[in-house]
A and B are shown apart, each in its own frame.
Chain A
Amino acid sequence: MAEPVVVARGLTRMFGNFTAVDHVDFTVYQGEIFGFLGANGAGKTTVIRILCGLLRPSGGTCLVDGVDVGKSPEKVKRRIGYMSQKFSLYEDLTVGENLEFYGGVYGLGKEQIRERKRELLGRLGLEKVERQVTSDLPLGWKQRVALASAVLHRPKIVFLDEPTSGVDPISRRNFWSMIHNMAASGTTVFVTTHYMDEAEYCDRISIMEAGKIIALDTPGKLKELYQKVSVEEVFVHLLAKWEKKAS
């Protein structure tokens, strides 16, 4: 098996008395697309924010590329790329300027930035808009720019928090083929979504509910286990079961 890139053991995060993430265990391996599913408020974003060093875990350990995020969040930052739920590049800068800024922030040299920028813009079909201010772009394009800035420094793993929410179906499909290419070239992809069709594209998925992981396997195995034809049905079935148990 490939080497593990993320190892979470007993990961917990409290906000006051509320347990947003409740003793979560999972492992993500090099080069896989790891899908994180769950209803809104299930704790997906909190997990991602912990993995990116934005939030301190309240308990448990979490290694990202061998570095303990809770203890040395600064060391993790060079190894990861992050794309947040809402589009958060600079709207008043051009596509090219945004990429140059992030390249510079990660400490890439000028030559390196120019080279990788050209390569990424080509790969993501963004050459034509390089000189356009990002606020003028449609959302689907913006998300591609955000992806490009998250991977410009060639991170070992990239965290995508609902990268396709609000994007039209064609753009979503394009976006996912880019994710596949990235994974094929060795970048590990950790992605949250609540589109069930997207879950089918993942190598493995975990389903989260009320801060706990209630299922984790490949889409095929989960469908087989619960005797369902789609991930969506598995998801609905599991949530219904969970709710019954909770009440």
Chain B
Amino acid sequence: MGKESKLAGYGELSEVKSKIIILAVKEYRHIIRDPRTLGIIFMLPIVMILLYGYAINLDVRNIPVAVVDYDRSPLSRMMVEKMVSSGYFSVTGQPQNISKARELIYSGRAFGTVVIPQGFMSDATKTQGTCVQLLLDGSDANTATIASNYFNLFVLGLENDLSTAAPFSVQVRILYNPDLESVKFIVPGLAAILMMLICALMTSATIAREKETGTMELVLTTPIKPHQMLIGKVLPYIIIAFLECLLIVGFAHLWFGVPVAGSLSVLMVMTLGYVFCALSIGITISAAVRTQQVAVSLAMVSTLMPSVMLSGFIFPVASMPWILRMISKAMPATYYLKIIRGIMLKGVGWSYLWPNFAVLVCIGAFFILIGMKKFSTRLT
């Protein structure tokens, strides 16, 4: 017996490696034979890139507005001209009074109304100044907020143009994404969402499936150890996650013109931290459930949805209520978004981004410890 265990000790490393490869090959076969899995891996990224790159555009251009000009002065006409030439607004009509302008908003032909009061031009030169009213359709709050911001910027610019006596001037300069094109910050963010999907949701589903069908039990009567089983199973997904990350970065750069200002190799190293983190969560989920369906639902609710909604992928974290901001801090995607946007758009490196990487590794370590513990105790 002693002799035998000694012998077993010899070829151990290569044997462990070859077993992991055997498991990975088997997993690869599962993946390529399941149309649903293939769809998620190959179709979803393309659909999401197109969707988020084109259809979901947070930039607002040519907001249709009606103008009610009670002043009818050279200055009011100049202001309307400038509004149109800014590109943010288009004038859909010049009704006589506010109630007619309201009709345009009700019917949906105008998104807002600019009301220029009588005496606009004469008041503009006086010290107390004048004011212009902007009425907006609040039923689309997002566009309304953006339109009102644009309008404020526009008015500020106008004041500068007109008044030589202005006590100060405001100059807004946007760094890193000067045209404020949302595609430049959303498309890189897709990498965070897709990798979470593949590493947390798909791996938890595939492990749970082996439990559900009983194949896990059979494999555990063989000399394979639980951790070898897990590594072999998740290996193909790690490779797929990296390929998708590269696909997204490539697409963003070559197609949408997103810069890659920082180092790609730093990005890849940090991506490894994110993948580790997502996998640990996936493994923990699969250890906690018995069926594939429960694993998918749990992963959806606990990883994918909050990653989309609360990580700052689309909606800014700063404007969330405090409880959502707290949840956001627990989402790995929050940190990865800072990393990928930081590297691609700002060109920052290790020295600025390492805390985000450290958080990812810590969250990953926390979950992998829980996951492995649950995994081994449940099955022996």
Contact = CB atoms under 8 A, between A and B. Distances in A.
B222 A106 contact: yes
Q: Chain B contact residues: over half helix, strand or loop, or mixed?
A: helix
Interface in B181-224: 213-215, 217-224
Contacts of A104: 18-19, 22
Nearest to A56: B380
A54 B379 contact: yes
Given A54-B380, A107-B223, A101 B26 contact: yes
Contact of A73 (B33, B217, B224, B380): B380
Interface string A78-97: 10101010111111110001
A102 interface: yes
B104 to A, nearest CB: 60
B223 A78 contact: yes
A105 interface: yes
Interface in B24-51: 26, 29-30, 33-34
Given A104-B22, A105-B22, A53 B214 contact: no
Interface in A158-182: none
Given A90-B215, A91-B213, A105 B30 contact: no
A233 interface: no
Nearest to B219: A105
B29 A92 contact: yes
B218 A84 contact: yes
B159 interface: no
A88 B218 contact: yes
A84 B224 contact: no
Contacts of A105: 19, 22-23, 219, 222-224
B232 to A, nearest CB: 10
Nearest to A80: B221
A93 B217 CA distance: 17
A77 interface: yes
B59 interface: no
Nearest to B229: A105
Contacts of B224: 105
Given A84-B214, A105-B19, A92 B30 contact: yes
A54 B22 contact: no
Contact of B214 (A66, A86, A101, A102): A86
B128 to A, nearest CB: 78
A73 B18 CA distance: 22
A94 to B, nearest CB: 9
A197 to B, nearest CB: 27
Contacts, number: 66
A23 to B, nearest CB: 22
Nearest to A159: B221
Interface string B1-24: 100010000000001001100110
Nearest to A82: B221
A54 B217 contact: yes
B214 A88 contact: yes
A97 B380 CA distance: 27
Contacts of B219: 105
A52 interface: yes
A104 B16 CA distance: 11
A54 B215 contact: no
A136 interface: no
A171 B213 CA distance: 23
A67 to B, nearest CB: 8
A80 B222 CA distance: 8
A74 interface: yes
A60 B220 CA distance: 23
A90 B30 contact: yes
Contacts of B22: 101, 104-105
A106 B26 contact: no
B231 to A, nearest CB: 14
Interface in B150-203: none
A92 B215 CA distance: 12
B28 to A, nearest CB: 11
B19 A54 contact: no
Contact of B221 (A52, A66, A89, A91): A52
Nearest to A101: B26
Nearest to B214: A88
B19 A84 contact: no
A92 B33 contact: yes
A13 B217 CA distance: 19
With most chain A CB atoms within 10 A of its CB, the pick from B5, B214, B218, B225 is: B218
A84 B29 CA distance: 23
A53 B379 CA distance: 10
B34 A77 contact: no
B380 A88 contact: no
Contacts of B15: 107
Interface in A119-175: 133
A75 B33 CA distance: 34
Given A91-B213, A105-B222, A106-B223, 4 more contacts: A54-B217, A105-B219, A106-B222, A107-B15
Interface of A: 52-56, 66, 73-75, 77-78, 80, 82, 84, 86-93, 97, 101-102, 104-107, 133
Interface of B: 1, 5, 15, 18-19, 22-23, 26, 29-30, 33-34, 213-215, 217-225, 379-380
19 contacts: A54-B220, A54-B379, A56-B380, A73-B380, A74-B223, A75-B5, A80-B221, A84-B217, A88-B218, A90-B26, A90-B215, A92-B29, A92-B30, A97-B29, A102-B222, A104-B22, A105-B223, A107-B19, A107-B223
